[in-house]
Structure 1
Amino acid sequence: MSSGGSGRVGSAEVGASVGAGASADGDASRDADALAEAGGLPDAGGRFDRRLIAPMMLGSILNPINSSMLAVALIPIGAAFGAGPADTAWLVTGLYLATAVGQPVMGRLVDRYGPRPLYLIGTALVGVAGLLGALAPSLGVLIASRVLLGFGTSAAYPASMSLIRSEADRTGMASPTGVLSALSIANQVIAVIGPTLGGLLIGLGGWHLIFTVNVPLSLACVVLGFVWLPRARASAGEGRLDVAGILLFAAMLVSFMFFLMKPSWSTVVLVGVAVAFGVAFTWRELRAADPFIDLRVLGGNGPLLATYGRQICTFVVSYSFLYGFTQWLEEGRSLSAPTAGLVLLPMSLAAVTITAITGRSAAVRGKLVAGSIILLVACGALQIAGAGSALWVLVGLGVLAGFPQGLNGLANQNALYHQADPARMGSSAGLLRTCTYLGALTAAAANASFFSDGATTSGLHELSWFLLGVGVLLFVLTVLDRSLTRIK
């Protein structure tokens, strides 16, 4: 991968940089033929191997389904173990911390050893974590199972992105927008139905079932992955694994995320700790022969860095709406929890619908420009919300917030596909997911700050101004990135 980010944006240019892709020189075809003869891939050329879609989709939803199901289980779990909200919150943050660290680590391992072994190991861990959670004798063990679950669910998404990249190279597909769109829709749909599914399972057999359900899901992933995933090994280097780099990266990220979870003057020292680990990580990676994250290459890839920035901004706003607006609906607008859920349902449906409509288009810039503009309108419209607002107005606010979720999330995923070094697609995709969780934790910190005295209408309006600032940053990161025009 060259040091200039713009040279990697067009799919043909990406192919040229690794000797594979849709170029007419025939090298990619010969490479794929060799892999096919070795049993690594189906016959070279032709259509995308649709047998890969089922394990990719099922594996990628393991994280969002476990994130969303827990939302309705915190109260019964707290009652079962005699724990308060501050203690049960670790069931949420434990998963986020493990996933934010685990995604790029698993992604780097995918780049090195290929998607198949990491997919199988990760999805098998999900089953172990589910069984441990279902049998947990204490809240501490239950939290440990969520951490293990976070690491296990971190493998499937970078493995799927790596598989999509290799299949596109094999078939000469310039931009597999249909598959990328399906992956995005699957994650959005499962996030919508997750709380409903969790409530159903709890009604059938108690909170234990939201952990037990991971066992059959894990088994299905392992069987499908073992039968259908290609055995070909993809390696981004033959040197030793950069364990020191991984540990320093994890320490840096965990320190910063602990601060984001409870930002205050008493915890600001964690920012200094994170910076110290960051300096050490940078020093290490710039000198490592085979670094965990090649900062020299990543630093020269401005478009990819901009995509990571847009992902953080997108999910700061998305999660602020999901949790902050929901809290206000229940406290500030005095709606019941079921009614608040129904008010927000159109928001999720809007995100899924716009993804389905625009998913076949490979163009990215138009989605991001439209998404950022609608996002600004949605954030500003929160100023009109009040204790006497009609339900149709509140539903309309949710729909407005849903459209940019679908547009920006899909566009950032498609942009990364074109901008990342194909040899490091797994770790690049993992970092994109890490940015998602950084956005989520930033949103949690913002909600805690603006709702310090409860989810009041004045607090919602103050949150609106903060989100408008984030939206402006998202818009600037979009319009200044001229490389997006070359993604067709």
Structure 2
Amino acid sequence: MMLGSILNPINSTIIAVALVPIGNALGAPPSQTAWLVSALYLATALGQPVVGRLIDVFGPRRLFLVSTSLVGVAGVIGTLAPNLGVLIAARVLLGFGTCAGYPSAMALLRSEGRRTGRDSPGGVLTALAVTNQTIAVIGPLLGGLLIGLGGWRATFALNVPLAVAAVLLGLLRLPGSAGTGESPQRGRLAAQLDLPGMGLFAATLMSLLLFLMNLHLRDWYLLVLAAAAGIAFAARELRAGTPFVDLRVLGGNPPLLATYGRALVAYVVSYAFLYGFTQWTEEGYGLSPFHAGLVQMPMFLVAIGVSVLSGRRPGVRGKLLVGAVGQIVACLVMLTLAGSSPVWMLVLVALVFGIPQGLNSLALQNSVYFQADPERTASSAGLLRTFAYIGSMVASSTAAASFGPRVTTGGMHHLAWVMLAAGALFLLLTVSDRTLGRAPGSAPLPGRLRA
């Protein structure tokens, strides 16, 4: 479960320190290398809920093995890529390959909860979150080391041994039966999967994300396509006997919808910092990729400590409020930075950002586990990642627009203002959500909210 779920975050964090070396090697400006970030999240945002639904129907084993094998193939393609276009294609394949890890983990937790009668696995959920935080610690530093030893191509080659290890562990340990959702019959398979709904969902999300990746009024037609596909998707899902996304249930579950909204704006801030601030420390401030990774380490170390200390406490409102305030404070400190600032100021920003990094991801993950329909745990977890990836692509586009052809301190400040606005919205969404105040064991809310 842990190894599968880290394949996405390790590729997210390693690429943060590799963007500048890749751009220098291939002659690509930040506005083009930003596609290396967006390509992975575009593929994963599309694939996570689809693969999650397949896991709900078939169980995690088959989906995990096939999907994770693609990670190894993408690692080989990226290592040998002759140009930026092939490299972007490798990142797309990586995105699809990492789709099964997190939904599989959440589905397995749900099935184990049924088997053992322990429906509140706080310790295991915390371990899953801390594992991802630990990889986020290792990612930038490991990326810097790999680039120093073997160049940026080594950051892609790393996926090959990771994929081999994940597939072998999956073959040895994952249960063979479905066990996490319905038992499909061949004649009803197409209806259970709702292939038209999946296609319309993909068309809606693809059009929207392509617009977000390169914000410009000349691409207005993409928004029109997204709206048209979205309307058709809603009409289809409301009529389908077994919908891909049960809009009736989702519409009757305001706590879960609010969680998805908070995830979107929270990850706008998180990923804008991860990619935008890291590029500035390298190109605008003058650090090497290795030292840029070192500057990021305090954030992830604090995040791990915060996750461990707060993980077993059942409430989420306090975590989210402190996380929102932490984001706002960190953005304000970013606005004071300049090319002449001492290094300890950069470390201070990373330390402050570590608090929301540890609290927000844990609280959002736990919220979905308790708010989602138990029969759709994997697809609901996939949708959480989809909203997070939409936020990451908004962040990537904003960073590209803020920096333009060169990464400057002025561009970093512009990015910080956008992050500050998103942090304020996250705080507003948290303060206004009264359902977060319910204590464990109180009367259930829509979608089984318990924490």
Normalised-by-shorter TM-score class: 0.7 to 0.9
User: In the alignment, which of 162, 183, 194 is matched to residue 139 of structure 2?
Assistant: 194
User: In the alignment, which of 259, 266, 269 is matched to residue 211 of structure 2?
Assistant: 259
Determine whether 1:165 maps to 2:110: yes
Which residue number corresponds to residue 382 of structure 2? 430
Moved more, 83-92 or 268-277: 83-92
Deviations 1:174-225 (A, max 9, x none): 3111111111111122122223323434444454443333232222222211
Deviations 1:388-421 (A, max 9, x none): 4333333222211220111011100001100001
Determine whether 1:467 maps to 2:419: yes
1:363 is paired with a residue whose SS is: coil
Which residue number corresponds to residue 181 of structure 2? 235
Which residue number corresponds to residue 355 of structure 2? 403
Deviation for aligned residue 1:58: 0.7
User: In the alignment, which of 277, 285, 295 is matched to residue 343 of structure 1?
Assistant: 295
User: In the alignment, which of 127, 142, 151 is matched to residue 72 of structure 2?
Assistant: 127
Say whether the 8 Å CA contact 2:44–2:386 is kept in structure 1.
yes
Which residue number corresponds to residue 101 of structure 2? 156
Moved more, 275-284 or 70-79: 70-79
Partners of 2:364 and 2:45 in 1: CA distance: 17
Partners of 1:138 and 1:201 in 2: CA distance: 20
Identity of paired residues, percent?
A: 57
Which residue number corresponds to residue 299 of structure 1? 251
Determine whether 1:377 maps to 2:329: yes
Deviation for aligned residue 1:104: 0.6
1:61 is paired with a residue whose SS is: helix
Deviation for aligned residue 1:366: 1.4
In structure 2, list runs of 5 or more residues that go unmatched.
440-449
Equivalent residues in 2 for 1:451-466, closer than 5 Å = 451-452=403-404, 454-466=406-418
Deviation for aligned residue 1:292: 0.9
Partners of 2:53 and 2:266 in 1: CA distance: 24
AA of the residue aligned to 2:62: P
Say whether the 8 Å CA contact 1:110–1:158 is kept in structure 2.
yes
Deviations 1:257-290 (A, max 9, x none): 1111110111232112111111111111111111
User: In the alignment, which of 313, 324, 331 is matched to residue 265 of structure 2?
Assistant: 313
* Cα distance, 1:468–1:217 mapped onto 2, change above 3 Å: closer
Say whether the 8 Å CA contact 2:34–2:400 is kept in structure 1.
no
Which residue number corresponds to residue 99 of structure 1? 44
Deviation for aligned residue 1:455: 4.5
* Cα distance, 1:475–1:199 mapped onto 2, change above 3 Å: closer
Which residue number corresponds to residue 272 of structure 1? 224
Partners of 2:405 and 2:20 in 1: CA distance: 22
Deviation for aligned residue 1:437: 1.1
In structure 1, list runs of 5 or more residues that go unmatched.
1-55
* Cα distance, 1:223–1:471 mapped onto 2, change above 3 Å: same
* Cα distance, 1:447–1:124 mapped onto 2, change above 3 Å: closer
Partners of 1:270 and 1:72 in 2: CA distance: 31
Partners of 1:420 and 1:371 in 2: CA distance: 23
Q: How many residues align?
A: 433
Partners of 1:321 and 1:189 in 2: CA distance: 18
Partners of 1:376 and 1:139 in 2: CA distance: 35
Partners of 1:67 and 1:223 in 2: CA distance: 23
* Cα distance, 1:141–1:329 mapped onto 2, change above 3 Å: closer
User: In the alignment, which of 211, 227, 233 is matched to residue 281 of structure 1?
Assistant: 233
* Cα distance, 1:444–1:91 mapped onto 2, change above 3 Å: closer
* Cα distance, 1:330–1:73 mapped onto 2, change above 3 Å: closer
Say whether the 8 Å CA contact 2:143–2:293 is kept in structure 1.
no
* Cα distance, 1:150–1:450 mapped onto 2, change above 3 Å: closer
Partners of 1:351 and 1:425 in 2: CA distance: 25
Deviations 1:96-142 (A, max 9, x none): 21111111111010111111221122112222332343445665444
AA of the residue aligned to 1:284: R
* Cα distance, 1:59–1:389 mapped onto 2, change above 3 Å: same
Say whether the 8 Å CA contact 2:64–2:101 is kept in structure 1.
yes
Determine whether 1:223 maps to 2:176: no
Say whether the 8 Å CA contact 1:314–1:405 is kept in structure 2.
no
Say whether the 8 Å CA contact 1:236–1:424 is kept in structure 2.
no
User: In the alignment, which of 214, 219, 223 is matched to residue 159 of structure 2?
Assistant: 214
Partners of 2:426 and 2:134 in 1: CA distance: 25
Moved more, 473-482 or 305-314: 473-482
1:266 is paired with a residue whose SS is: helix
Equivalent residues in 2 for 1:139-154, closer than 5 Å = 139-154=84-99
2:109 is paired with a residue whose SS is: helix
Which residue number corresponds to residue 447 of structure 2? none
Partners of 1:86 and 1:453 in 2: CA distance: 7
Partners of 1:473 and 1:320 in 2: CA distance: 15
AA of the residue aligned to 1:385: L
Partners of 2:340 and 2:83 in 1: CA distance: 44
Partners of 1:79 and 1:389 in 2: CA distance: 25
Deviation for aligned residue 1:360: 2.0
